Amino acid sequence: IEHLDSGDLARFPEVVFGYLSPSMIVISTPNSEFNPLFPSVTLRDSDHKFEWTRMEFQTWALYVANRYDYSVEFTGVGEPPAGAENVGYCTQIGIFRKNGGKAKESCVSEQHDQHVYKAVFTISYPSLQQERFFKLVLVNEVSQQVESLRVSHLPRQKKQDGEWDDTPKDSQASSPCFGPVFTEVEKAKIENSPKPFCVGDKFFVPLQRLLAYPKLNRLCADEEMMRSGIADSIPLSSDGSAVVTDLRDYFDE
């Protein structure tokens, strides 16, 4: 639910608890009280719209459960280290069960039989074995990483002693302010990979640099696999060794 903006979150209970109304619903979400145990983390992922404390999540969950006739129990995964037990689980979980048992469940099934559904998209799991889905995921991940590197490579545009500081701030591997937290081994692998560079107003990110990031490394076995997966969707250098994009865009002005 942390990926939902406020409007979608407000409609979520009506759709899932009210209309779909399954006998059990399991919802997990980050416990923000655990975040101070991570190095340099505000939100755990750049796509998160919020991260709740245990009280915030439980207040929301109890309200929803009461409104839609569910009971809820709370648990979690990821125990805190010794000495920090008061922060709770790393990820908090609410397990909702429909009150009333099988009688209501059969009634809901009869109600849903009145609707006609049409398949609009089909995935055969494990989905990444399907070429079209694999390419979609790969292009999305490469695009996000390239954009993050591009923004971090821009001049800092801060005045220091009356002059502009034009030093690029490429600090993702060593001190991320959001997104994934890398291990020391992962940081070293990223730092030792070919660095992004500029030629005129073009920004180049070597494929070997992208492969150093854990998420992309899990998707692609090697540079050729990445190149063939993104070639139809993302501009590459003339020799195919790097992704190419404009260093600046409209939103940087």
For 68-119, how does the pLDDT look when each residue is reduced to its tens digit (9 = 90+)?
Answer: 999 999 999 999 999 999 999 999 999 999 998 554 444 444 455 566 778 8
pLDDT confidence tier of residue 177, bands split at 50, 70 and 90: very low
pTM (2 d.p.)? 0.50
pLDDT at residue 160 above 70?
no
pLDDT recorded at residue 122: 75
Structure tokens at 49: 């719209």
- Quote the percentage of the chain above a pLDDT of 70: 81
| CA–CA separation, 129 and 33 (whole Å) | 37
* pLDDT for 172 beyond 70: no
**Does residue 176 surpass a pLDDT of 70?**
no
pLDDT at 128 over 50: yes
DSSP string, 13-49: HIIIIIII--SEEEEEEEBGGGGGGSTT-SSSSTT-S
Distance CA 241, CA 206 (A): 6
